[in-house]
Structure formats: structure tokens, C-alpha cells
Amino acid sequence: MYTELIKIIEGGLNHNPKKVVSYSKHLAKKLREDGADKLADKIMKTIEGSTGIPVYKDQLFDAPVDNDTRLNIADIILPQDIKLDILLSESIQNPVNNFISLVNSKNEIESKGLEMNLSLLLYGPPGCGKTTLAKHIAKELDIPIVIARFDSLISSLLGNTAKNIRKLFDYAKSKPCILFLDEFDAIAKARDDNHETGELKRVINSLLQNIDDFLETGILIAATNHEQLLDSAIWRRFEKVINVNKPNSDEIKNLIGSYFNKVDSKLDIEDKKFDMLSSYLNDFSHSEIIKIINSAFYNSIIKNKEFEYDEIFSEYFKYKHNNRFTPEEMIRFLNESHIPQKQIASYLDISIRQVRNALNVE
């Protein structure tokens, strides 16, 4: 019995929840054999009621480094430092909440004799919020997130890359955290790619082995913009998979409306210009939409004027055409967007005659 107590203490000091749980069960079994059923039941109830996430508040998180360059191979963000203001669509929120619940229910699920791992793969176009979602999950679970830095993780010497991968997983395994592998396709490409070398394929094999070992106790999230490049064996490793796509029409309207509320805008969402703006931004990513509206809002502050649709339409037009257009093209676009001629002249700081000339009207 003293052996179990010592092992439990060792597991706690080394932040090894698996060891703590294992020897706590051994202790409960011995207590039951000695007739101490109430204490044994209390120990088992405590184990089953735990989230399995150890305390991290007093731990010092020093990022692991590449031995040659001494550059960090990961960034560590504590949950209290994650500042997010996100609007999740129902199609994303439900599976994300399901994954969070899965993490919190891990011990209870495993107590029923079921095997599981805590892994999530996010895929979809760039700028749709995959990294933001990973941080959101870390914030909700109140644990740090370790974000792999592939610019320093991947070495020109592939043997060193395999060592860095091992070091990264060992580091994440030793601490309570989420390991987040962004741009996952950089190291998880299909091994049947004829353009890849045998050494790189060995790196991928090493990655798979590290993932299997890590998922015995750890939480893994990966994200990719190029899911078609992933090795088929990678998909089988993940318990949950979420397609993080571009917002649909209703989601775009909700995103814009939420932004207007956030900045206390007086713009009327019942105005037909609101529907027109939403249609313009169709097929844009979340980050592109926010970037366009942010630019318009910043300009209104710089110019010390009301935040108006003309500013947003203008920023959209500039973004769409990469700032390559003539003044006449901008005038015609704003006119087609139902911005009055006088407002166009005022916005562009030109005369009403110049506006009418561009529109070929008297």
C-alpha cells in the first residue's frame, strides 16, 4: 500500500496523470481487499469524476528548441492569454463543443472499458478560422496550447527533423496542454508521393509513431489547408474531423452584423446595401471579410467621419482588384452599389461634375 502512495505522489510531481490514475486504482483494490470499501469507493469516484487534466498554473513553460539553431520549435500560449471574439456557426459549434465534452468525459468513457483518443483534425480553405478554433478549444478547456513552429521544426537535415518531432511530442507529453500542429501537410504528406525522398517518408513514419504514443494520454489538434496531400494513415489517427469552410450567406450576414454591433455602428442592417454587401462578400473567408470591414472602419476613424457603406464598398473593391483600378471604375462601382452621386463625390473628394462625367450622365 505504501508503494502505491509513493507512486501516486511521483506521478503528481511529474505531471503524469496516467500514473496517478493507475496506482490510485491499485490502491483502491488493496483497500477493498482489506475491507475498506468506503475509502476504495471514494477513490474510484474521485478518479471517474476527474477531467484528467492536471493543474498547470504553477508550471514554468519553456519552449523546446532546435539543437542546431537554438530557435523555438513551438510557441506556448496560456489560456488566460488567449483573447478571442469569435462567432461560431452551428455547423462548426456543435462538433467543437462535442470535442470539448469528449475531453472532459475521457475518464468516465475509459472507466467503461472503451478505448479512445483525444484528437481533432481541422481542414478547409485558409483564413476560415482553424487556428482560432484550436485556441478557442484551449481557452474553453482552460489549458495551455503548444503550437508547433514548422519554420524551425523542419530542418534542412531530415534526420534532425525527426529528432525535433520527437522532442516536440515528448515536451507536450510531459505537460498538461493541447499540442497544435498547424499547416499539418508540411510534415504529413502522403508516402506514395513519387516526388518525396525515402528519408522524408521515414520522417512521416516517425511522425505517425509519435502521434500513436502521444494519443495515449495527450490532446492533439491538427489543421491543414491541403487535406488532399495528407497520408491516408493520418486520417485514421484522428477521433474527430471538422471541415472548416467559408461562411455561407447567413453566416456572412451574422458576421457583419456582429461586427457592426461590436463597433457600435449606426449602419442599418435592414438597408438594401447590407444585402448587397453580403452578396459581394460571398465566397470570401472569415479573415478576408473582417480584414475588409476593419480597413473601412479604420479609414472612417482616420478621416473623422461616420462609418458608412461607401467606405466598406470601396475597401471591398480595392481588395478584389488588388488596388489596380481607375477612378472611373471606382465611381461606376459605387454608383452600381446604390451610393448617391453627391456621396460619391464627397467620399472621393471630387466634384459632382467629375462623377457625372464618369457615369456619362448630365
Residue 42 pLDDT: 82
Residues 344, 261 share a domain: yes
pLDDT of the chain, 362 residues: tens digit per residue = 667 777 777 777 766 676 777 778 778 888 787 888 888 778 887 776 665 444 455 455 678 888 878 888 899 999 988 988 777 777 888 999 999 999 998 888 888 888 889 999 999 999 888 999 999 999 999 999 999 988 777 765 556 888 888 999 999 998 889 999 988 877 776 555 555 556 667 778 888 899 999 998 899 999 999 888 887 888 888 999 999 999 999 999 999 999 999 899 989 888 899 999 999 999 999 999 999 999 999 999 999 998 999 999 999 999 999 999 999 999 999 999 999 999 999 999 999 999 999 998 65
Residues 257, 312 share a domain: yes
172 falls within a domain: yes
63 falls within a domain: no
Residues contacting 225, CB < 8 A, separation 6+: 123, 124, 125, 126, 183, 185
**Residue owning grid cell 482553424:** 130
Residue 50 pLDDT: 60
The predicted-structure confidence for 66-109, as pLDDT tens digits, reads as follows 887 888 889 999 998 898 877 777 788 899 999 999 999 888 88
Q: Are 178 and 145 in contact (CB under 8 A)?
A: yes
58 falls within a domain: no
Residues 296, 336 share a domain: yes
Q: Are 196 and 189 in contact (CB under 8 A)?
A: yes
Residues 303, 239 share a domain: no
Burial classification of residue 58, based on how many CB atoms lie within 10 Å of its CB (0-12 exposed, 13-18 middle, 19 or more buried): exposed
Helix/strand/coil percentages in the chain, nearest 5: 55, 10, 35
β pairing state of 118-123 and 219-224: parallel
Cα gap 288→129, rounded to integer Å: 11
Query: Which one, of 153, 185, 186, lies nearest residue 169 by Cα?
Result: 153
At residue 170, what are phi and psi to the nearest 5 degrees? -60, -40
Residue-number span of the structural domain to which 114 is assigned: 74-243
Residues 210, 129 share a domain: yes
**Residue owning grid cell 459605387:** 334
Sheet holding 240-243, edge to edge: 74-77, 145-148, 178-181, 219-224, 118-123, 240-243
322 falls within a domain: yes
110 falls within a domain: yes
Residues 132, 104 share a domain: yes
Residues 185, 142 share a domain: yes
Which of 217, 243, 269 corresponds to the end of one domain? 243
Which of 194, 209, 243 corresponds to the end of one domain? 243
| Total count of domains within the chain | 3
60 falls within a domain: no
Residues 268, 196 share a domain: no
Q: Are 145 and 76 in contact (CB under 8 A)?
A: yes
Residue 158 pLDDT: 58
| Neighbouring C-alpha atoms within 13 Å toward the C-beta of 60 | 1
Residues 311, 222 share a domain: no
33 falls within a domain: yes
C-alpha cell recorded at residue 331: 465611381
User: CATH number, domain at 199?
Assistant: 3.40.50.300
Residues 105, 136 share a domain: yes
Residues 175, 95 share a domain: yes
326 falls within a domain: yes
* Longest pairwise C-alpha distance within the chain: 101
Tell me which DSSP letter residue 76 carries: E
Query: Which one, of 67, 58, 142, 68, lies nearest residue 100 by Cα?
Result: 142
Residues 187, 234 share a domain: yes
